[in-house]
Chains A and B, each alone.
Chain A
């Protein structure tokens, strides 16, 4: 990756040499590697108005065929600090409401994050690790995920997702996303996630060392950039542990083979499905998910069995009306509810065997808009 904060002749000549423009003349070379080589100049003088074109060198091996890179409707943005990609919502990605499911959106967020890592030359093994991390057997694991969807896209809608990452504290990194509807230009969703580094072998958290930090900070925006404004800090809100009485539950969930990712772990997105499993039909039929926050606490293995528990989230000042169990629709409606018919739930995913917590979550639901 070549970035030149200062432009002078020497640097640019060097860039030329390394960009292998000469190499591009060989047809086979260009076909195999399809390097996207553009020279970048960030002029030191802000008044200088040479149109900057950017240099992103994919010197490292690209995954799969170059055809996919050509077809991929995404790439690093001009400053190289974020990555954008377009997708079309496919028929099998919509749910009973004929709109994209939250799992589809979460999958796309994951895909874009992964493509971002790949486009800056990080690993293509699904972990998004930098070379130093691989040497030290370190991988990223998700610690928290927060997604807000203001308006779900429908089948055949074209969306664009922009993503970037930055440092967060001493042990974490943060990845943010903004989701746009291409047709209207509106932002229809935002998301943020926190990742920590873990040793692959010991499965223990590890502080991000300086050399690893330097490797990826190059690709992060220089100034803090947050998908959610400071004021709207629902994404940072602590999730309380679900206490009795548990409102709804779905017990005995098992990872299916299809829930495992290429690294044999239960896919992050599977947890979202499990959290939603204990939401009753009355809510699913009348409401749509507005926001979901998940704290990932413990890994779930292929052979584990999981219970999904849901309860109402109480805010200060609201009274808990005690109602019968197996929450009926009417009972739900009379308890915690604001003017907008919004439901807020707390969730817990735990191991069936010993009750140890896997995930903790929070969801907000709004009444479905008439379409």
Chain B
């Protein structure tokens, strides 16, 4: 019985709290969602095949949260227990006090910034804000960290892509495959991204948890705009903002299409009327060629893992290729702070690509801060057909010395 008192003290901790707790993002390690085992005490309790203590199954009865004094008659206590009683009562008392204290503290600390947010353990995400904004948490895994000790830009873009798909899915807008509504599927229409703009204020690192919010709006009469806001789940700091423009294309004829009325009926309820999260980078993207490009990387071919479900190269992979021809001194001493991409053409497994880059630091329209670089990019097939046109901005990594700056300037001289 002493044993059950002890265990019940623990289990009362993890018994499923009321919904007000679940709204609090800053959950203590002890609280956990009831349906999910998150390595907390609850898991361990249930995972054990609970031995019958005194003829009862102690675990299940304790989970209800009340002090369990089942009063079942017990065999004479073993020597071990006899030595323990003071400790266990002390433990129970301490734990109870702690719980009360933590609960108090939780209430004080609760930031009502996103009252609808629920931590969703499997990262499936939730629709918040009247069903228009989709929100999902990602924890940065060790293999998503790149050579810069931060999450790579590809990781961030993957998260954006994932929330976009999950948004469509949870809004019921996903027909077969990724990204086409049921009406679109009937008409063989698909969404195609034409433009993407990303500004990274800070890259998350291993162990960070980011929250990605995404929503859609109309873009002109026949386009769609999808915006993202990435923030640090714990601090609320904005890490990344991104916006993208999508148009509709017939997947058989590969021609652009207007949005048919039936599809408009499906998607318009989900459009938010809001300003873009990023001011549009209206500067025209220059097309590089062999004479204007300073760095060229040839013979880039898609690997099997670069292909998406449609056997086209995943949009995110283009970014990696674009960076392949960025000069190494910049890659090593600077980090990508902003990127604008125009998608022109798809490519598949058999394509052979070339990546061209020019560093332009004397850009008159976008005044460059000290130490920053602008680059122009082009990804094209060997026959010259354009795949992606882009521009990137780079800022010095935090602890870089000026020596690198000199090296970069010297190289360009």
Enumerate chain A interface residues (CB-CB to B < 8 A): 7-9, 12-13, 16, 21-22, 24-25, 27, 30-31, 34-36, 38-39, 43, 45, 48-54, 63-78, 86, 88, 90-92, 94-96, 98, 101, 103, 107, 110-111, 114-115, 124, 126, 156, 158, 252, 256-258, 260-262, 264, 267, 269, 273, 276-277, 279, 281, 284
Contact = CB atoms under 8 A, between A and B. Distances in A.
A257 B320 contact: yes
A9 B84 contact: yes
B158 A92 contact: yes
A154 to B, nearest CB: 11
B132 to A, nearest CB: 21
Interface string B26-59: 1111001000111111011101101111000011
Given A30-B98, A276-B305, 19 more contacts: A8-B83, A25-B94, A25-B98, A27-B102, A31-B26, A43-B80, A50-B53, A51-B48, A51-B59, A67-B234, A73-B37, A78-B47, A86-B37, A101-B305, A110-B143, A256-B324, A258-B146, A262-B149, A276-B304
B314 interface: yes
Most buried by B among A51, A66, A103, A126: A51
A50 B3 contact: yes
B38 A73 contact: yes
Contacts of A53: 7, 10, 41, 44-45
Nearest to B10: A53
A257 B146 contact: yes
A124 B140 CA distance: 14
Given A51-B7, A74-B39, A91-B165, A68 B209 contact: yes
B314 A38 contact: no
A179 B263 CA distance: 41
A273 B39 contact: no
A136 B210 CA distance: 36
Contacts of B346: none
B152 interface: yes
B123 A90 contact: yes
B142 A126 contact: yes
B48 A16 contact: no
A213 B158 CA distance: 39
B410 interface: no
Contact of B161 (A25, A50, A92): A92
Interface of B: 3, 7, 10, 26-29, 32, 36-41, 43-45, 47-48, 50-53, 58-59, 78, 80-81, 83-84, 87, 91, 94-95, 97-98, 101-102, 105, 119, 121-124, 137, 139-143, 145-147, 149, 152, 154, 158, 161-162, 165-166, 178, 205-209, 233-234, 299, 303-305, 307-309, 311, 314, 316, 320, 323-324, 331, 349
A49 B162 contact: no
A236 to B, nearest CB: 26
A260 B161 CA distance: 22
8 contacts: A13-B87, A21-B98, A30-B98, A45-B80, A67-B234, A114-B142, A257-B323, A281-B349
B91 A21 contact: yes
A363 B134 CA distance: 41
Nearest to B90: A16
B6 to A, nearest CB: 8
Nearest to A128: B142
A103 B305 contact: yes
B320 A258 contact: yes
Contacts of B308: 96
Given A30-B28, A73-B36, A258 B154 contact: yes
A88 to B, nearest CB: 4
Given A31-B28, A70-B27, A262-B149, A107 B209 contact: no
Contacts of B53: 49-51
A158 B38 CA distance: 14
Nearest to B59: A51
A258 B137 CA distance: 23
Nearest to A103: B305
A64 B158 contact: no
Most buried by A among B39, B299, B311: B39
A303 B50 CA distance: 56
A276 to B, nearest CB: 6
A110 B142 contact: yes
Contacts of A70: 27-29, 32, 38, 119
Contacts of B142: 110-111, 114-115, 126, 262
Given A9-B83, A257-B320, A72 B139 contact: yes
A107 B155 CA distance: 13
Contacts of B51: 49, 51
Nearest to B165: A91
Most buried by B among A45, A66, A90, A284: A90
